[in-house]
Every structure is written in structure tokens, then in C-alpha cells.
Structure 1
């Protein structure tokens, strides 16, 4: 786990001087070591630079980067882990390849030498890397299938500049870092910016499951992976067989992620997903698992008792962090800086605080992220398959005239019913996918934004599957190509790496996803709380109270805090005379939302959080909005 930086440019642009300074802006991602490399193409017309900040997890003594191959042909700056590196190393050794280190970085180099771009589909892991080939003068930039590891690219003249985070890219003259109005509009609808865009016009995300090749003036981008849910259809119809295969594959995914030469543990929420990870870790470790949990000092807003119950059941070495309002607020600006964007979810901040606490004891943790998006764990996954029937029975004008107004008037405590009722009436598929997690209130987003009409068409990949794919699998495909890489996995990477800790996510295993894509939909959502196959497996491994308890999610008590200790800060962010947000959004609408929330007439925590973070983003990055 590390931070990487690099460029490919005309020699006359001479970016070499900025290489080390830009790389050091990623020091939080790699406090254990640093290095740089610079060279010219064989014809002398182009230059390349690579920078690396290292968080040492494997081969602590021999894994320094940028790493040169044994013959000097290749140089790499690599962020991530290749979990099956031992198996690949053995295969490559049998083919005659030489190795002088013990980690996964050199395996990646030799895999590229042996198989070229086809090696990417052989990797079981999370990665982003820049690989320079001295013989062909080609630079390869690649990102893992699900986008667990970030890689951004910016253009300045004839230069391509790459980094693990946005901040280093903005240091270079010639990069267009003006605010992108289309991204602003999308943020108000999605609550995040869908890739490949960012908030800055001249900075983009390298898409998950793609690689880019730069050779002289030529540069091409190729997709090597699409989610199994987009094209694999169910062929496992016996539940007992599915359960056996799932149990084996999940256990393997956990076991692979225990490969580490540094101390490690697990983030434990007390929910089903992270509890199952801890249970499986306990099978394969000869000492107690170190577990870390975070909660809040507001009654009814903490899952710490549940996490403690799991910790006791498996005899873990347990650590707890109870976050109060002052701690929460103290890392808000840092979270925005590391995210390179507004913080989409309040839960980012306690994750950052927990990472800082865990770093005192471990360098790596396993987490339960991705289970809901793999196994259909959200209410929307159970609702979407019924939308076609609802729209067949209820004409659009009836929904708009009668149902939508009635459900909008329901209290916040019935927010899930409100969301389902509102979103089910959206006929356009793309708009509906966005609305499920955006909150279903596209009209409010339109009312808030004062900017120009959208000029950019959306990336169609998250909305595109085989025609025969089920409604559930189409939604899971959207989750895995948009919601996960551009929001949830961003949180996992940025907040943990801000605390200098690596996060590994067994549910985001490609082989596991290929298997689950072969299951009947009923094996996933065929239970009242979803994730049927995981729930049945967990009954054999977890305390009954954890298996059967109500899913509450990781809820931060911002509703109360906005009305109490954060009220003045919210007024400053959203209602002060110099607030940028009031220039680009409808100030009267902001005032209405604030008034209704502070007076407890409505709960607008979700949209107020989005707006307040937008203002924090403006204050931290100060982008030009012209």
C-alpha cells in the first residue's frame, strides 16, 4: 500500500524538478520509505518520471520502489497488493524467470514480462501501477478490476501526469483545475462524482479495470475487465451446492488477504459482514485477531456493544473508539483534502479517526466493505425487481399526482418507504439507478443548482448489461461500476491511507464475484434482510443476536449534531456572506432547508451534509468557478 506519482512528457517540459516534491505530498500514504526515478525515451524526445511513497507490508527490507527489474528493462511504481503473488511467483519460476526480492512487486514486473497485458486478469488483488519499459519506451498505467486503488491523470500540454490523489496534480502549471460544472450537478444528484470525471476539468480518474499505454505521442486506453454481473448468467440452481462453493471461496479470499509481513487486524462494526470476516480470520490465525471498532457518544447511535459481543465470541484483542463531536469536526477538512472532493458520507470521518488509532498497533486491516453490493444487502436490491410490475400497474400520472405527494409528506423515520415509493415511479432506468442512493429527490437537486445545463453525457458502462440480465444483477452491476469505485471504495482507500493504514476487502474478490454471478437471484435477496447465502453461512459461525439483529448501517448522528454543537459551523458554511455555495446554489432554498432542520420540522441531514461538504471543498481547494 503506497502512494505513486509519475509523468510522461516531451523532454522540453522538464517536469523532473517537481517529481520529488509532488511525491512527498503523498507521504501519509507511505511513511516508511520514498524514492524517485527519471529517464528519457530511446530517441530522447520524451521523458518519464516515477515517484513512490512506501507503506511496507510485504518484504519489509527488500521491497523499496521505484523497483528495477533484475536486467534493468522495467521500472515500476506500484500501489496495492497482489494477494496470489506466491502462486504466480512459483509459476513464473518454472518458466525460467529470476527473482531477487520476496514480495509481490517483482512478481508484477515479471508477470508483465511473461504475459503482457494478459497478466492483469491473472492478478487477485488491488492495484494501481506505473510501469516503464526502457526497451520500448512505453509507460503503462493500470488499475485493478473494481477500482480499490486510485489512479488519477491530468494533462498539461503534451504531458500526462499521474498520482494516487488529486492534490499533487494541482501543483503543476498548465493543468486545468477549474471547477467542472457538470461534476457539480452530478454530485448533487449522486452524492459523489461518477468516473471518469472529478471536480476539476483537467483531472480524470483512470477507470477501474482499464490500462493505458503511452508511447511517444500515442496513448491508448483498454478495458480488460467488466463485472461478472453484466454478462455471467445463473447456472447454479441448487442452494446447498451454492452455499458450499460460497463458503469455500469466501474463506479462500480471507486467507489470501492474511499474507503480510507487518502486523494486521480487522475493522469490526458488529454487523454481519465484518463479523463474518473476523470469524474466518480466527480460523487461520494462531493468535487472537486485533479488532478495531468505532462508535459515538450519542445514545442510540453506536454499534460498539454489538462489536464487543463479536470480539468476546472470538476472543479478539479488541480496541474501541468512541467519537464525540469535537473529534469528528477536527478531521473534517483533512478528510476533504485527502478525498480530493466533498466527503459524500459522514462515516468517512470516523473511519479516518479509527485508522489513526489502529495505526498504533497494526499496518493493515481486513474489512467487510462490498458485501452489500456483491450479495444484495440493501432494501433497494429487494425493491428494484418489483419496479416493472409497479410501473405496469400504476400509470405515471397517478404516481406523480397522488403517490409521490403523499409519500413525500411522510416523517423521516419512514425514509426507506419514502425512497422506495418515490424512486419506483421513475421510468428512466439511468435516473432511477442514480436516485436509489442519491435519495430519490432529483427535483430538489435541480432546484438547488443555479449553474448551466449539463453538457456531458454520462458514462454508459454502469447502466449497460446483457439484455437478459435480471433487474437485481443489473443493479448490482451499477453498484460495482459506479457506487463502489467512486464512493465507498474511495472512502476505504482515502480515509485509511490518510491514517497510514492498508485496508483489504475480501468481499471484493474477483473470483468470489464470478461465483456469485452464477447464483440464482433468490440466493441473494431471497431473505427478509437480503444476503440470504451469507446469512445462512453465518448461522453456523456467529452469535444468533448478530445474525438476526436489524441492519442499521454505519450511521453518524449528524442529525442531532447539526441542531446542537454544529449549528454555528453549519451556519458559517452555508449562510455566511462569503460562502461560495450561495453563489452557485439557490440561497433561498439553502435557507429553507437550514431553517426546517434546525427547528426540527424536517430532517434534511443528507442534503445539508452534501452542501456543507461542498463548501468545505471550496475552502480547502479554492478552485476557480468560472
Structure 2
């Protein structure tokens, strides 16, 4: 797990080594254990190539330094991530005649590219963002893993191509103009995050998950190499017992290969089914007690620490807890925005950042339960999507809009989830319905907030392009191609790496995703709480109170804090003369949101959180709007 940064620039715009070092070292938190830098030119001297690397040493601690060049000098690689099946790939490559000088997955990646060229990325069972220079072909290969667990940002400027694991080094490149993308603002209000490939910087784009890009002779061409199996695989597992057995074997392997490490590791444990399943499986493959880490709050209704203790006690883990206080949360907020290179979409990002700082004192890597809901149907919306078609058939649009919609909008403070459900049920546009589930503003509300018409068309239509008949599978496909990479997986990478911790996510295994895609819908959401196969697999392993308790989700009491210790801070960020957001949106609408929330009439915590983080982002990156 590391941070990479680099460039390809025309000779007339070449940069010195000090610039490469300075910009790469802005990501020292991603790689506190080592660094490496390399400058070279193309054979025709037209372009300069710069590769910078910061290393968090986990595999082959002594031999995996980067940039790494092949023995013959043809290939040079900078790599962020882990290839979990590198042991099996290495055996296959040795059988083909390849030789190795190290025990690192980095060298396996180099030799895999030598053997299979661009098809190598399809064989990688892991998470990665990498840049590889092929001297013989005079080309740079940039690639990102299938689900987008690892980031890779690109900026194409006149005569300049920049790439990196985070945005900050790109925007600090000499001559970079920090132009604000006003179209991204509309998408942010609708989604509460900016969907890829866009960012808030007009010149910076995300290389989308499951893509590689090839730079050659001044031209960059991008290709998709992976589509989530829900769009390509028909359900063919008829027996529920067979589904459970298939899941158990594949999940066990997914956990086991993610425990490959030459450094101490542990697990994040929330006390929910997902992280508990990961810990239970890890115990099976470990001779020593697993280190577990949990985070919670003094507000009991928001904290899952008691449940995490139950699981830790059952499996005899070396358990560690962090209780987040409002003051400490606030101290970490601006740094979280800086590391994310964007507004922090979810308040839970910051406790994960704080937990990662604590965990990094004793381990370098953790396994987490991230992605289980999006893979196996664990959210209430996944069950609701299955009957929304019936509701819309029974409830004419005109009746819903004139009767139900106004009634829902007037619901009191404590009924936020019911409001979201009712609003989503009445939304007939599938693109907008996906947005409604996340509690952002509607198209009409966003336009009223901005005082202008906006393009509601997503920057990338791929997450909405699936022609699957099942509404559940269409929703899961969207989750896996937009909500995960642009929000939750982005959080997992940026917030854990901000604390110098690598996060590995067994539920985001591509082989496991292919197996789960073979299950019919009722095997996913057929029982209470969803994730029916997972619950059945864990039935005799996890405590009954963990398996059967109501899903809580990782929530932070910011709504209460806005009305309490953050009250003055909220007003400064959104209602003061220094507020940039107050100049971007309707002051009348903004004041209404603030007043209704502070008075306890409505729960606007999600929208207020989004707007406050936008303000924090604009101040942190000093963007002129």
C-alpha cells in the first residue's frame, strides 16, 4: 500500500528532481516507510517521464522498494495496492520461465505484464493503481483495479499528463490552474458526492474503476477491461444450500489470501454481521489472536461498541476501542478534506481516519467488512426496490405528486428514513431514484438552491446502463459502479491511508462477486435484514444477537452536534460573510435549511453536512469560484 505520483511532459516543460520529490512527498502519510524517485526521457527526447513513490512496507519489506525496474531494464513500475494472488501468479510465471529477484507482488506485476501485456490486469485479484513504463514500446500504462478500491487521478494539460493516488500533488504542479467545475457542484448536491470521472477540479479526472489507459507518443487512450458480474452473469444456482456452500468456500479464500503480510495486521470490527464475519474467518487462519479495532461515541444510540465487544470476546481478539469526542472530530475534519481532495461525503469518514491513526501504532494493515451490503443486498433500499414497481403501478404519478409528496415533505424531524423511502417510491426516473436513496437534494431543489438550470445527466452513464430486468440487480450494479468507488471505497482508501493504514476488503473480491452474481434475488434479500446467504453461512459461527439485530449503519451524531457544540461553527461556515458556499447557492434557501435544523423542525443533517464540507473544501484548496 503506497502513494504514487508522476508525469509525462513535453521536453520544453521538463521539471527537476526536487519538484518530483516535493510533490510525491505530499503523500508521505500514504508511505511513511520509504520513498523513491526517477526521471528519464523517451528515446526521441520529446518527453520527460517522472515517477515518484511513497511506500508502506507490507510485502517483502526488504526487497520491494519502488520505482522497481525489471532485471533487463525494459519495465519500470510504481504501484499502489496489493495483488493478493501474487503467490499463485508467481508460480505460473516461473513455470513459463520467468525469473525473480525479490519476493514482492510488485515484481510479479512487472513479469505478469511481460507475459500477458495489457491482458495481465484481468488476472490480478487485488486492488491497485499503477503506472508502468515500457521502454521497448515507449509507452506508459496506467491502470486501476476492477472495483476502484485504489484511486488514480489524471490531469491532461497542454503538453503535460499528470497522474497520482491523490489530488493534492496534481494541483500543486507548477502552472496548474485550480479552475472550479461548476457542473460538478450540481452533481454533488444531487448525489452528496461527485460521480466519476469528474472531480471539483475542471482539469482533474478519475481513471474509472476497471479501466486502463495507455499513453504513447503524446496520446492517451482509455479502455474498460472489467464489468461487474451482475451485468454479465445470469442466476444459475438453484439450491440455497449450494449457494451457501459456494459462498463459504470463496469467502474463506478471499479472507485467507488477504491475510498475506510480512507486517503486523488486524481488523476493523463494528459489531455488525459483515465485519464480524471477516473476523470469524480470520481466526480460522491465524495461530495468534487477531487484533481488532472499534470506534464509537458517547451517544449510545450511535455507538456499536457493545456489539463489537461481544464478537471480540467470542473470538478472543486483542481488542482496542476509540471513543470519538466532538472536539477531536473537529480537529481532524480539515485534514480529512485535504486527504480526500474533495468534500467528505460521509461523516463516518472522520472516525475511520481517527481509528486508523490509533491502529497504525500497532499494525500496518487491517481487513474490513466494506462492500458486503453492495455485493449481497444488505440495505433497506435493496428490499424496497423489489416492490417499487408495484407501488408505481397502483399509485398514479399525479396522485403521488399531489397527495403523497407534500405529505412526506412535511413529516417531522425524526422521520428522515421514512421520507427517503416514500420519495424514492414515487420517483419514476431510475437515475434520480438512485440519488434519492442517498438523501441528497432533488433536481428541483438543487436548481432552486443554485438559482439555475442544471444538467442532471451523470458524467458517466455506465452505472445506469445495465439492461438487467431485476430492479434489485440494477440497483446493486449501480452501487458497485458509482456509490462504492466514488464514495465508500474512496473513504476506505483516503481515510485509512491518511492514518498510514492499509485496508483490505474481502467482500470486494472479484471471484466472490462472480459467485454471488449467480445467486437468484431471493437468496440475497429473501430474509429479514437482507444478505440471506451471508447470514446463513454465519448462523452457527456468530452470536445470535449479532446475526439478528437491526442494521444500524455507521452513523455519527452530527445532527445533534450541529444543534449543540457545532452550532457556532455551522453558522460561520454557511451563514457568515466569509462563506463561499453562501455565494454559490441561494442565501434564502440556505438560511431556511439552517434555521429549520437548528430549531428541530426538520432533519437536514445530510444536506448541511454536504454544504459544510463543500465550504471546508473550498477553503482548504483555496479555489476561486
TM range (shorter): over 0.9
Give the corresponding residue for 2:304: 303
1:383 aligns with 2:390: no
> 8 Å contact 2:36–2:52 — kept in the other structure?
yes
> 8 Å contact 2:144–2:212 — kept in the other structure?
yes
1:587 aligns with 2:587: yes
**Structure 2: where are the runs of 5+ without partners?**
none
> 8 Å contact 2:250–2:512 — kept in the other structure?
yes
> 8 Å contact 1:156–1:174 — kept in the other structure?
no
SS in structure 1 opposite 2:388? Answer: helix
Q: Deviations over 1:359-399 (max 9, x none)?
A: 00000000000000000100110111212211111111001
Backbone CA RMSD of aligned residues: 1.2
> 8 Å contact 2:413–2:600 — kept in the other structure?
no
* Alpha-carbon shift at residue 457 of structure 1 (Å): 5.2
Q: Deviations over 1:585-617 (max 9, x none)?
A: 111111111111111122211111111111111
> 8 Å contact 1:373–1:476 — kept in the other structure?
yes
> 8 Å contact 1:212–1:219 — kept in the other structure?
yes
Give the corresponding residue for 2:100: 99
1:599 aligns with 2:599: yes
> 8 Å contact 2:267–2:367 — kept in the other structure?
yes
Give the corresponding residue for 2:395: 394
SS in structure 2 opposite 1:26? Answer: helix
Give the corresponding residue for 1:533: 533
Give the corresponding residue for 1:159: 160
Hey, what's the Cα distance between the residues in 2 that align with 1:611 and 1:20?
34
* Alpha-carbon shift at residue 141 of structure 1 (Å): 0.3
> 8 Å contact 1:227–1:477 — kept in the other structure?
yes
SS in structure 2 opposite 1:207? Answer: coil
Hey, what's the Cα distance between the residues in 2 that align with 1:520 and 1:456?
31
Return closer, same or farther for 1:624/1:439 CA change in 2, 3 Å cut-off: closer
Q: Deviations over 1:48-86 (max 9, x none)?
A: 110000000000000000001111110000000000000
Return closer, same or farther for 1:337/1:532 CA change in 2, 3 Å cut-off: same
* Alpha-carbon shift at residue 486 of structure 1 (Å): 0.2
Matches within 5 A, 1:362-441: 362-439=363-440, 441=442
Hey, what's the Cα distance between the residues in 1 that align with 2:119 and 2:507?
24
> 8 Å contact 1:156–1:173 — kept in the other structure?
no
SS in structure 1 opposite 2:438? Answer: helix
* Alpha-carbon shift at residue 455 of structure 1 (Å): 8.8
* Alpha-carbon shift at residue 456 of structure 1 (Å): 6.6
SS in structure 2 opposite 1:59? Answer: coil
Return closer, same or farther for 1:587/1:327 CA change in 2, 3 Å cut-off: same
> 8 Å contact 1:363–1:501 — kept in the other structure?
yes
1:358 aligns with 2:321: no
> 8 Å contact 1:154–1:175 — kept in the other structure?
no
| Larger displacement relative to structure 2 (174-183 or 380-389) | 174-183
Give the corresponding residue for 2:113: 112
Could you state the TM-score of these two structures normalised by the residue count of structure 1?
A: 0.98
1:70 aligns with 2:59: no
Hey, what's the Cα distance between the residues in 1 that align with 2:447 and 2:554?
28
> 8 Å contact 1:150–1:164 — kept in the other structure?
yes
Hey, what's the Cα distance between the residues in 2 that align with 1:482 and 1:150?
13
**Structure 1: where are the runs of 5+ without partners?**
none
Hey, what's the Cα distance between the residues in 2 that align with 1:349 and 1:397?
42
> 8 Å contact 2:31–2:54 — kept in the other structure?
yes
> 8 Å contact 1:146–1:208 — kept in the other structure?
yes
Give the corresponding residue for 1:336: 337
Matches within 5 A, 1:159-558: 159-439=160-440, 441-450=442-451, 453-454=454-455, 458-465=459-466, 467-558=467-558
